[in-house]
Amino acid sequence: MIMESAVGEQIITTNLKQFLLVLSVSLGVATLPQIFSWFRHIPYTLLLVIVGLGLAFVDVRLVTLSPELILFIFLPPLLFEAAWNLHWAELKRNLVTICLYAVLGVVISIAGIAFGLNQLAEISLTTALLIGASLSATDPVSVTALFRELGVGKNLTTMMEGESLFNDGMAVVAFGFMVALSLGNAKLGFQPILLQLVIVVGIGVAVGGLIGFGISYLTQRFDLPMVEQSLTLVSAYGTYLVIEELGGSGVIGVVTTGLILGNFGSRVGMNPRTRVIVSEFWDFLAFFVNSIVFLLIGDQIRFAVLGENLQIIGITIAAMILMRAVAIYLLSNLSAVITQHQIPLPEQTVLWWGGVRGSVSIALALSVPIGLPQRETIIATVFGVVLFTLLVQGLTIKPLLQKLNLLGDAPLRDQYSQLATRHVALERVLQHLQSDKRPGIDPEFYRYQETLIKGEIENLQTKIDKLQIEYPNIRTFITEQFREELLAIEADTYAEFVRAGRLNTELAPMLADVWENGNSH
């Protein structure tokens, strides 16, 4: 008994050391762009992959990446955070297109990759289908992070994120069916596939919706930010585990819960200040988890194994890129027929090239049963393709955006923010200078400083006016920024009154309505 306890403690100590090592390396890499400006040209997630590859090259293995670690520990918070921040109004506007990409796009991807591998690489159909199912889930974390940094349009970002959220669930369902097919526990046919899909997705949506609305109702009863924040964390993991236990899609369930809490529960059950606290918590958690995941993806690469399967990887990449193009361009036109809304060709091109693969694909490949033939080939192929999409597609998406003139106005926003901040700072200096007349200081000095500051303020105002005239769209950003400042002041005032006991916490739903109405203007 003492021996078992000592062994258990040794395992815990070793795992803790490994975790701290991974965390230290990943957070260290994430800070590199702040120290060396050159690294700012590379999204930090891709920088983590590159550093992981460097560690793999010298054969330093931080931890062993398992499917359970990805699917049960890393995936739920990433799904929840993305769904929490996905606005329903924007999602609804593109829902038909996203569903076409997420459902039919997955089918096209699996069929095309499987056919290419079966015909050109002479791989068995069941193995080819497993590779196709593993690679049907897009994971554009680095791409969407770059979109936000560059100010790319919300419409394109929503389509990219929405497709990823929903096709993760479809890919997991499809992969489970392919594994059952390989083991002889299922038959390939339209009716059994459709029935399985309806059951798995239905359980996910139903249970996820029940948990989401249940927590929304619960948070209306009290105003405790830390408790409400903890409830969202429990709901992310709890939803996934419960639905998987019931035989449904945990991915779809977490997405459903996140969408409900982010768009409904946080509005009616949380006051504005609490919503800010919870949102900041999930932003941190997503950054934290992504930092670990992308470092480990690079660190798990086995270069010798990739070299042995180079031909298969090349064929898979070609088939995947071709099928992605077929799916995006074909389904975009189909969506235009249904919705009467045409997606611009440049945006379709970015959606095609930005469909990178990541942690979900790797988790699915690693979860292939050990008894199945060519398991190592499946894993090596998926790792090789994921590496290609992250490094080649991920690093070339910015030049593509520039070529297609889809870069947003982020540089202009930064320029305006710098000018406006200096303007406000000098106004405060001027006020202090005019109100604080100290004895012993020459009045001429006051007049000279006042003239200098007023001249600089006028110069800044001229630059701001010129910026607004040349780029009228910047006025929308200015208005949004000012409205956010007003709402922040309002939220701080409510929080101050609650702490002082001058405001009843039961008013939180009404205050949330005020916040919601402010966002709609």
146-186 pLDDT, tens digit per residue, is 777 666 778 888 899 899 988 888 888 888 888 888 887 76
Q: How far apart are CA 116 and CA 369, in angstroms?
A: 23
Q: Is 305 exposed, middle or buried (0-12, 13-18, 19+ CB in 10 A)?
A: middle
107-126 pLDDT, tens per residue? 999 999 999 999 998 899 98
Identity of the highest mean pLDDT range in 74-88, 135-149, 473-487: 74-88
Per-residue CA distances from 387 to 41, 109, 245, 383 (Å): 19, 18, 32, 6
- How many angstroms separate the most distant Cα atoms in the chain? 95
3-state secondary structure 450-492: HHHHHHHHHHHHHHHHHHHHHCCCHHHHHHHHHHHHHHHHHHH
> Per-residue pLDDT tens for 443-480?
788 788 888 888 888 888 888 888 788 777 677 777 87
- Helix (H, G, I), strand (E, B), or coil: what is residue 341? coil
Range with the poorest average pLDDT among 104-108, 272-276, 346-350: 272-276
pLDDT more than 70, % of the chain: 87
Cβ atoms within 10 Å, residue 299: 23
Question: How many Å apart are CA 393 and CA 143, to the nearest integer?
Answer: 9
Distances from the Cα of 131 to the Cα of 59, 179, 258, 274, angstroms: 26, 11, 29, 43
Residue with tokens 């090239």: 353
Cα–Cα distance measured from residue 382 to residue 175, given in angstroms and rounded to the nearest whole number: 13
Q: Closest Cα partner for 352 from 321, 383, 313, 314?
A: 321
Tell me the residue type at 246.
Answer: L
Q: Which of 13, 16, 26 is nearest to 290 (CA)?
A: 26
Is the Cβ–Cβ distance between 310 and 381 less than 8 Å? no
Q: Which two tokens stand for residue 352?
A: 């095609």
Helix intervals (H) in 246-309: 250-260, 266-268, 272-299, 303-308
Chain segment 499-510, per-residue pLDDT in tens: 666 665 544 444
Phi/psi region, residue 63 (left: phi>0; alpha: psi -120 to 50; beta: rest), is: beta
CB within 8 A of 463, min separation 6: which ones? 419
pLDDT above 90 as % of the chain: 30
SS3 content of the chain, % helix, strand, coil (to 5): 80, 0, 20
C-alpha 378/C-alpha 364 separation (Å) is 10
Q: What angle do CA 376, 380, 382 make, to 5 degrees?
A: 120
End-to-end CA gap in the chain: 66
